[in-house]
Structure 1
Amino acid sequence: MVIGRLADGLLSGTERLTGAVTGTVSEAFFEPVLRLGVTGLSGAGKTVFITALVHNMMNRARMGQMQAVASDRIAAAYLQPQPDDMLPRFDYETHLAALTAPTPHWPESTRAVSELRLSFRLRPGGMFGALTGARVLHLDIIDYPGEWLLDLALMERSYRAWADDTLARIDHRPAARDYLDRARAIDPDTRHDEPLAQDLAARFTTYLQAARRQGFADVTPGRFLLPGDLAGSPVLTFAPLPASGPSRRGTLLREMERRFEAYKARVVQPFFRDHFARIDRQVVLVDALDAIHHGPQAVEMLGRTMSEVLSAFRPGRNAWLSRLLMGRRVERILFAATKADHLHHTQHARLTALVEALLRQSRDRADFAGACTAAMSIAALRATVEETRRQGADSFDCVRGRLLDGGRQAAFYPGELPDDPARLLAPGRTGGEGWLDGDYRIMRFAPAALSLRPGEGLPHIRLDRAAEFLFGDRLA
């Protein structure tokens, strides 16, 4: 039996190696493939981003900031069957139907990994274009939850280090009070009891769900929020416990340690091996406006989360990941602040400046190098129009749209972001709980009813610039 398992492992490894080599040779000499990862925490707009990107690349009238569009290099863009038969297909048609219905609505959020292949037929260019003829580039778009990406930080941490850090971070959060009171009332050296472990895991999951709703980005383990078919399994039934001494066999603490290690080995590592290791370019969608709305601590945690994301794309920091990727690095990473249409265009530069400041801060924290990174504010689907309202001698730059709750039209003034992003970053670093000189609000807008002309994609803000950064060079 042992010999059989060894043989199966060797055969599986050989198949993967052969497939990788064959795929690499095929891509290099025939039809190259560029793999674009799309991620972001829940609610950042991944599904809308992918749907709008694909629709606009097939209907390019609104993509004038892309050089390949401006120079008419793209002869056609079309969907093809995805190459990975084991991954669900991104349901582009259903999501597009939701956004373009007579009464449009936001599509369902990302719950697991999915993939879509968009292929480009490119007209020849340059001195030897007539000799080479048209060529094809495949863009494989991989959609995955950002919560899973954050789990990379767990891989080289022990259960005890993770538990101590988690308990310290959440100690002053009201949403964590129920879990903390329960965990601190338990002796971790008590004999393992499965109903008790399940109760702790359920309370901790409830806290993670509340933290996500409150704008906190430090919501790991990520699969606790999106368990899929692992719901209720022992690998998702652990929680951080306060402990000082070594764990003993048969105790609750020892079982929590074992399950934490199993989570890393059975859940986290396979995801990075099977999906993450294949990504060439990456966009990370950031709901910075939601973090600002929830206060300084949420903004501070957003910056820390961005540093964890950057660390994930720097293999040298993680020995096991370096071995897995064999020196391969993601070439370009875009941090895109979504929902720019919730602000008047006069404030877009300030939103971008905030994400750029968070990115600089994150690069310092992660000691990151090796990829080209950029920050941008976008709206993959524009749901509002702008207007200026007057009240006495004052004027206010507003946005107007259809409210998600109730469906009525409303104009909204969210408050004015500061010129200096440090005014939004400093309070969180010093433990501030609220803004001293501003009140930043958000409004939930539904998608607007659309009337699209032939060749016209979904209305957006800077989606063409985002696409140019992410893969425009490969269309040249």
Structure 2
Amino acid sequence: MVIGRIADGILRGVEGANDRVTGLFEPTIRLGVTGLARAGKTVFITSLVANLMDRARMPGLSGTANGAIRAAWLQPQPDDTIPRFAFEEHLSDMTGPAPHWPDSTRAISELRLSLKVQPQGMLGSVSGLRTVHLDIVDYPGEWLLDLALMEQDFAGWSCGMIEAAEGRPEAAPYREALAGLDPTAEFTETAAQGLARAYTAYLAAARKAGYADCSPGRFLMPGDLEGSPALTFAPVPPGEGRFPRGSLGREMERRFDAYKGQVVRPFFRDHFSRMDRQVVLVDLLGAIHAGPHAVADLGETMERILGAFRHGKRSWLTSLIGARRVDRLLFAATKADHLHHTQHARMTAIMAALLRGAKDQADFAGAKTRALAIASLRATVEEMREHDGEQLGMVRGRLLDTGKEVMLWPGELPEDPARILKPARAGGGAWLDGDYGLMRFAPAPVVLKPGEGPPHIRLDQAADFLIGDRLR
């Protein structure tokens, strides 16, 4: 048995050395794709992979423009315990005879795309082709909310969540449940489950109303943890000092700590510690359409989430990641095809201004950042129409709810981002000079020619920023 253990140790050492040698000659880029609800993570990954495999629509990707990418093919992902991202199924949903949007992300998944690259420059003429692996990790955006939760204790988290709920009509049933609650009373499972159900229902209603800060994230996407004690707790008003042993409040606190320690921490330890590049997808137009409250909440939520990546901050995430850092961070406002291209620069400017604090943190730490307006799958076409002597940029597409094809003017974003951000940060109830209407479009039928991926807007620029430097 001793000889067997020695042999196993030698074998593991050899495997580890092989992995390091493979990483030297076949470098791997691990790309994390994150974002909050309805941001379009599944569509982004599907279209990105399809367009990297068939690159006729990717002129903005340097590896395409200079001919460095010679081939691309899918391989089994390296993590045997993570489900494979259902690329073929999602692509069929988006581009098949009856195109429709694929199901949203409900669990973590991964996909490996390998690229055969001819190095450029002086060494390129004498060196042969090399392989670069792109490992894309997808997970529900709701789980991202738990980044901000990790550094809070139960009392502080409860106070923040209860305060936020006070101004939201969606929280009325939960506030009613709290009103008749004594956290110091003896714990019963019935009371815990009733309160957790009321709080979860409030989170679901708040998300539907456009709020982004709906934590804990797994309450909205529980997976196989549904009904477990780790997901059966809720914020309760803090008392003076700790709750007594055996009380409802004490058990809520214990389950909150268990959620952080047994659910959240392992996930980020096992996955975030290995990320090289990150894209954060944001449904900016959806937040604007929902109103100033949704824009303000989105900005505050993203600031808290991305603040965990700040260098120099001694946080739980810093200790897990160690010396490795995400060195490129893309903030992508999705659904740019809902606007005429003449408004895309304004959309990008609002996105950059909304996340200015998080961007400054990343820039100061040495990471490269960029804000971009994109459409992973273009669902509309543009037209110019004259109205009252004025030329208006219109978009035409098929409505998701009715299937009817319409042409509309979606409104105009302000040239100055402050006209959006100022009323949002001031707590305004509605926009003063427009309602910023938003329609939901279904995917348009598309016939792909050989070598073409799905139509998009600036996906090639997004890809070039995220991985272009590693394809030279």
* TM bracket (short chain): over 0.9
In 2, Cα distance between equivalents of 1:23 and 1:338:
40
User: Which whole-Å deviations, capped at 9, do the CAs of 1:422-441 have from their partners, x for residues lacking one?
Assistant: 11011121111110111111
Determine the structure 1 residue equivalent to 2:370.
374
In 2, Cα distance between equivalents of 1:236 and 1:318:
28
In 2, Cα distance between equivalents of 1:213 and 1:319:
31
In 2, Cα distance between equivalents of 1:56 and 1:248:
58
Unaligned runs of 5+ residues in structure 1 are 1-10
1:275 to 267, 271, 274: 271
User: Which whole-Å deviations, capped at 9, do the CAs of 1:350-404 have from their partners, x for residues lacking one?
Assistant: 0000011012133468996332111000000000001123333344321110110
Cα gap change, 1:441 to 1:23, in 2 (>3 Å): farther
Task: Name the aligned partner's letter for residue 159 of structure 1.
Answer: F
Determine the structure 1 residue equivalent to 2:344.
348
What is the deviation of 1:410?
A: 0.7
How many residue pairs end up in the alignment? 463
Determine the structure 2 residue equivalent to 1:154.
149
Cα gap change, 1:392 to 1:428, in 2 (>3 Å): closer
Are positions 1:436 and 2:432 aligned together? yes
Give the SS at the match of 1:388: strand
Are positions 1:163 and 2:161 aligned together? no
Give the SS at the match of 1:374: strand
**RMSD of Structure 2 on Structure 1 (CA):** 2.0
Matches within 5 A, 1:20-419: 22=17, 25-246=20-241, 247-314=243-310, 316-363=312-359, 369-419=365-415
Task: Name the aligned partner's letter for residue 471 of structure 2.
Answer: L
Unaligned runs of 5+ residues in structure 2 are 1-5
Cα gap change, 1:124 to 1:262, in 2 (>3 Å): same
Cα gap change, 1:124 to 1:322, in 2 (>3 Å): closer
Decide whether the 8 Å contact of 2:50 with 2:454 is kept in 1. yes
What is the deviation of 1:319?
A: 3.1
What is the deviation of 1:315?
A: 5.3
In 1, Cα distance between equivalents of 2:265 and 2:290:
32
In 1, Cα distance between equivalents of 2:154 and 2:83:
32
Decide whether the 8 Å contact of 1:307 with 1:363 is kept in 2. no
What is the deviation of 1:18?
A: 6.2
In 2, Cα distance between equivalents of 1:377 and 1:371:
20
Task: Name the aligned partner's letter for residue 339 of structure 2.
Answer: L
Cα gap change, 1:430 to 1:366, in 2 (>3 Å): farther
Decide whether the 8 Å contact of 1:307 with 1:366 is kept in 2. no
User: What percent of counterpart residues are identical?
Assistant: 59
What is the deviation of 1:314?
A: 2.5
Task: Name the aligned partner's letter for residue 371 of structure 1.
Answer: A
More deviation, 67-76/406-415: 406-415
Decide whether the 8 Å contact of 1:314 with 1:329 is kept in 2. no
In 2, Cα distance between equivalents of 1:462 and 1:242:
47
In 2, Cα distance between equivalents of 1:32 and 1:115:
17
1:469 to 465, 468, 471: 465
Matches within 5 A, 1:3-18: none
What is the deviation of 1:196?
A: 1.2
Give the SS at the match of 1:455: coil
Decide whether the 8 Å contact of 1:209 with 1:225 is kept in 2. yes
Decide whether the 8 Å contact of 1:286 with 1:335 is kept in 2. yes
What is the deviation of 1:244?
A: 2.7
What is the deviation of 1:198?
A: 0.7
In 2, Cα distance between equivalents of 1:176 and 1:216:
12
What is the deviation of 1:457?
A: 0.9
Please, what TM-score do these two structures have when normalized by structure 2?
0.94
